[in-house]
Structure formats: structure tokens, C-alpha cells
Structure 1
Amino acid sequence: MPITVIDGILTRYEVTGSGPPLLMFSPGGFDSTLEGWRTVGVYRRLGLLDRLTEAYTCVTFDRRESGRSGGRLERISWADYVRQGVGLLDHLGIERAHLMGGCVGCSTVAALAVARPERVLSMVLYSPAGGVKYRMKQHDRFRRHVVYAEEHGLERVVSLARGTDAGFTTDPRVGPWGRLIRTDAEFAEAYARTDPDRYRATVTGMARLLFDRDTVPGPEPEDLLRLDVPALIVPGQDTSHAPSAARYLQECLPDTEYWDVPVAEQTRESAPARVLEFLAAVGKRE
């Protein structure tokens, strides 16, 4: 599978299908890999990627710090995730693309559209992550990692990460860089030597700024209200994908279609068809 360097960080990606380009931001939280479109939660059941490749050139990739992509020890922001997506479009020579996000990928899709609207044809926001309990869950995950790192030291975090396949989402103790520790010896060595106070500031600042609201994190609502990009919003229905998060995006985005269908009624037949219908309609408007 091809790998390119974006912003000094390796990015593993895959291009499948044919037709207009569709850049897809994977579900899976801090373990957002391109395989997530076929293996994670509702996406495994719906078979969205396989259907979309019949009409679109689908570009999937491992988010930085996930899968086989690289990363850096820094306070990661939504702008960093946007930079990866735009860089991948540049690498592939794609001037404008449809964007699709699953779960937390919706936040990056919206942030990219705000930052670079001229590069975006449309947005599909599928089961956006957000809500009060989602924010609390994310902050607790970072808190548990910081507590473990302070009690045991970063060398112990390195040992723990190397002794398990679990990611940050599954085992908060390994932290957001657990996979890199496991696969990059040079990174792991530098990580273990990081000043504890500097590390704490990096991690706590990352949690506070990435998950700063009780709805969909990412761009400011005032920026979404000014965004002239058509969007399809499909709600989720659990503590990480609150229906209120999808309704928030509907309220903020001026040009939206809201597929008001419960998750249980989003099927392998209906869900891909609805996404394809939306994308085709946008194509006719261009």
C-alpha cells in the first residue's frame, strides 16, 4: 500500500474505484485507520466503501499516529489533521474533492471545509462524534493516561505500549502515541527522555483544545454558519455519537440534507444508496 510524506509525517493511503474523487476520513477515534471503513461498528455492517467505489475514486488513509502512518510528539490540533488531508489531495493532484467523515472524522471534514472551502465539493458527515458524554469520555481518557505517566514515568509507558496491541481508545494508559512507540524505536527513545512537565502540558493542552465543547468538536460554529458547502448529515445514536451532535451540524451548516433515520434502520441497502444519491445530486449542481 502506498505511503507518502505530508508535513514531515508518513501517511499510508489507498486509492480504489473510479469516478470523481472522494476523500474519506476514517472512523475509529485515535485508532483511525483506512481499514476502519470495513471493520469498525456501523461501517462494517453497511458496506459503504465497497458501494462508493463503484461510482467514485475513494481515497482512504491512516490518520497520523494511527495504523502505519507516522506522527510527532506535539500538541495535535484539528489544523494538523486538516494539513494531512490537504497534503494528501496535493500529493494525488486532486484540486477539488467530495469529503466524507465517519465518527470523529466528521470533525476534520468540517474543519477542512472551513479552512479550504475551495478544495471541497461536498461533505458527507456520517454519525458525527460528539455530545456531553463524548467530551467527558475523551477528557477522562487523557486524564487516565497522564495519571499513569506521572505515577510510573514515560519509560514505563514505552514498556507498556510495546507489550500490548491495544491503542489509546482501548487502553488509555498507552497514550496517543502508543502505536508509534511500538513501531518506531527512535521515536520511543526520544519519547522516554521527554521532560515530564513538558509532556504533561502537551497532553493536557491537546485534550482541552481538541475536545472543548459538548457537541461536535472542530471548527467554530460561526465559521460553519458561513460555509457554502453542501452537506449530508446522518445521525448516530449512542454516547459517543449523540443525535444532538448531528442536529448541531444541521443547525450550523446552511446547505444541508439531514437523513433522519434511526441507526437500526440504516441498512446495507439504504445507507450507501442515500450517500450516492446525495453525491450525484451535488455533481449535477457543479
Structure 2
Amino acid sequence: MPVVELGGIRTRYELVGDGPPILMFSPGGFDSSLENWTTFGRYKELGFIDALSRQYTCVVFDRRESGRSGGRLERLSWPKYVDQAAGLIDHLGLDKVHTMGGCVGCSSAALLAVAHPERVRSMVLFSPAGGVTYRAAQHMRFTQHLGFALEHGLRAVVEHAQSTTAGFSKDPRVGPWAAVLRTDEGFAERYAATSLERYRTLVSGSARMLFDRDTVPGPEPEDLQLLEVPALVVPGEDLSHTRSAARYFEECLPQAEYWDVPVVEQTPEASTARVREFLSRH
């Protein structure tokens, strides 16, 4: 698969299909690799890439600090994820794109539209992550990781991350930079040499800035209310992908279409047909 440096960060991506481009923000939390569209949870059965690539060019990529993409030891934030996505659009020479987010990818998709509305034709927000329990779980994950790092040191974090394939969502001890620790020895050495005091600030600051509200993290509600990009919102219905998160998008986005269908009825055939129908109008 092709790899390009975007803002100094290695980014792995793939183009699947032929037609108008759809920039796909992967599901999977802190393990948002491009493969998740075909291997992760319910997305494996939904088959969006296979269905959409018949009419569109699906632009899939590893979010920074995920998969085979690189990263940087800095305070993580939603604008940094958007910078990577915008850089990929520029690299590919694309003027305007449809976007689709799954799970936490919805936050980045919406924030890209807020930051660059002239570049986004429409967005599909499928099962957005958010809610009270979701925010609490994310903060707990960062707290557990920081406790491990402060007790055992960053060299131990590196060694543990390199001894397993589990991501931050499954094993908080590996931390949000686990994927880069496994694929970039230079980064791993710089990471291990970082002072614990500096690292404490980076981790606590990342948790506070990424997950600062009890609804969909990322874009501000006032920015969403002023956004004129058409959106299709599809609800989830578990503790991480709450109906309240989807309803928040519906409430804030002036041009939102809410597909009010329970998850059990969001079959592969029905879901892909609804997404294709929406995209065809925009």
C-alpha cells in the first residue's frame, strides 16, 4: 500500500474502486486502521468498502498512531487528526470529497467539515461514538495507562507494547502510541527517553482535550449548527455508540437526515442501500 508523509507523519492509505472519492474515517477508537472497515466488529458484516467501491473511490487510511501510520509524541487532539486527513486530500489532488465516519471516526469526519466545509460534499456519520459512559471509559483508560507508566517507566511501556498485538482499547498499558512503538524503533527510543513529568502532562492533556464532553467529542455544537454540509446520521445503541450521540448530530446539523432504524434492522443490504441513496443525491 502507498505511504506518504503528511506534516512529517507517515501515513498509509489505499484507494479502492473508481468514481467520486469518499474519504473514510475508520472505526476502532485508538486502533483506527484502514483494515477495520473490513475486519472490525459489525463493519466486517456490513461490507461498506465492497458495496461503495462499485460506484465510488473509497480512500481508506490508517489514522495517525494507528496501523502502519506513524505518529508524534505530543498532546493528541481532534484538530491534529483533521490535519492528517486534509493533508491526504491535498496529496491526492482532490478538490471535494464525500466523507464517511464509523464509530469515533464520525468525530474527525464532522470536524473536517467544520474546518474545511468547501472541501466536503456530504458526510455519512455511522454509529457515532459518544455519551456519558463512553467519556468515563476513555478517561479511565488513560488513567490506567498513566498509572502503569509512572510505576514501571516508559521503557516498560515500550517492552510491553512490543510484546503484544493488543491496542490501547483492549490493553490500556500499551498506551495510545502503541502502534508507532511497534513499527518505528527511532520513535520507541525517543519515547523511552522522555521524562515522566513531561509524559504525564502529554497523557493527561490528551485525555482532557479529546474527551471533554458527555456527547460526541470533537466539533463544537455552535460550529455544527452553522455547517451547511448535508449529513446522514445512523444511530448505534450501546454504551459507546449511544442514540443520544446520534441525536446530538441530528439536533446540531441543519442538513442532517436521521435514519431512525434500530441496529438489528441495519442489515448489510439495508445499510449500504441507504448510504448509496444518500450519496447519490449529493
The aligned runs of 1:53-72 (5 Å cut-off) are 53-72=53-72
Aligned length: 282
Structure 2 length-normalised TM: 0.99
Q: Deviating runs (4+, > 3 A) in structure 1? A: none
> 1:87 and 2:84 equivalent?
no
Aligned twin of 1:146: 146
Cα distance in 1 for partners of 2:138, 2:95 equals 34
Opposite residue 196 of structure 2, the aligned amino acid is P
Aligned twin of 2:119: 119
Aligned twin of 2:202: 202
Opposite residue 268 of structure 1, the aligned amino acid is P
Aligned twin of 2:105: 105
RMSD: 0.6
Opposite residue 10 of structure 1, the aligned amino acid is R
The aligned runs of 1:195-274 (5 Å cut-off) are 195-274=195-274
Deviation string for 1:175-197 (max 9, x for gaps)?
A: 01112112211111111110111
Structure 1 length-normalised TM: 0.98
Following superposition, the deviation at residue 258 of structure 1 comes to: 0.5
Deviation string for 1:213-269 (max 9, x for gaps)?
A: 000000100000000100000000111101100000000000011001111110111
Following superposition, the deviation at residue 44 of structure 1 comes to: 0.9
Opposite residue 99 of structure 1, the aligned amino acid is T
Aligned twin of 1:157: 157
Opposite residue 274 of structure 1, the aligned amino acid is R
Cα distance in 1 for partners of 2:103, 2:206 equals 19
Following superposition, the deviation at residue 137 of structure 1 comes to: 0.6
Aligned twin of 2:192: 192
Aligned twin of 2:17: 17
Deviation string for 1:4-56 (max 9, x for gaps)?
A: 11010010000011111100000000000111001111211111110000111
Deviation string for 1:263-282 (max 9, x for gaps)?
A: 11101110000000000011
The aligned runs of 1:16-35 (5 Å cut-off) are 16-35=16-35
Aligned twin of 2:43: 43
Aligned twin of 1:166: 166
Cα distance in 2 for partners of 1:5, 1:204 equals 27
Q: Gaps (5+ residues) in structure 2?
A: none
Aligned to 1:29, what secondary structure does the other structure show? coil
> 1:177 and 2:177 equivalent?
yes
Q: Percent identity among equivalent residues? A: 65
Opposite residue 212 of structure 2, the aligned amino acid is D
Please tell me whether the aligned partners of residues 149 and 156 of structure 2 are also in contact (alpha carbons under 8 angstroms).
yes
Cα distance in 1 for partners of 2:269, 2:182 equals 39
Deviation string for 1:134-157 (max 9, x for gaps)?
A: 001100000000000011111111
Opposite residue 143 of structure 2, the aligned amino acid is R
Cα distance in 2 for partners of 1:24, 1:163 equals 30
Following superposition, the deviation at residue 87 of structure 1 comes to: 0.5
Opposite residue 104 of structure 2, the aligned amino acid is V
Please tell me whether the aligned partners of residues 16 and 49 of structure 2 are also in contact (alpha carbons under 8 angstroms).
no
